[in-house]
Amino acid sequence: MRKIILVSSFIAILTSCASAPNHFIINTAPVISHNAPIIKNIGITVADPRARQAILRLTEDGKHSYISSNISTTELVKQGLSNNFRQQLAIGMSPNGEPTLSVTIDKMALKLEQGIVSYETQSLIIFKVAISNGAKTLNKTFKRQGTSKGPLKADIAVLESEFSTLLTQLYNDISEDPQVRSYLTL
């Protein structure tokens, strides 16, 4: 009887402090080591045609809940890419610049399966990028994915940090791609 009370108390403590977050916060600002002067401006557009623009899908006890970012996904990606391109390539972004960079968010999701004593996550981000420099257009797809597992309840702050890191890695993949650099400098 005492074991049952102890186990019940332990489970109650684990679940009593849990509350679903209202927003999924993603950091868009890279760590800036120096302030490079902007040598060129390019145009940028970001589209998110997904039916559900939430980033986090939480599954607990067979029930799904969806949590969005604190800002729109299009603005999040636009800010993140702008910061990354400014830092990595000394390129600024404006609505009317040439050449133009168009990003379509194909997938941008973190699935969290929360169990009683453990959790598992799967992250997937896919961007379709088109760069038009007047003479030619480059179309490329960039993808990043990750998984994690852990005991007890998932810490949303840790998941936010991991997803932000994955997103920053994808921004770096785009800005460091030789074809992208070639199309942007013509």
Q: Determine the pLDDT at residue 34.
A: 52
Cis status, amide bond into 99, omega within 30 of 0: yes
Is residue 138 within 8 A of residue 180, CB to CB? The reply is yes
pTM of this structure: 0.80
22-27+37-185 maps to which CATH number? 3.30.160
Domain boundaries, the chain: 22-27+37-185
Q: How far is CA 128 from CA 5, 47, 101, in A?
A: 54, 10, 10
- pLDDT per residue as tens digits for the range 106-143: 999 999 999 989 999 999 999 999 999 888 999 999 99
As a whole number, mean pLDDT of residues 38-57 equals 88
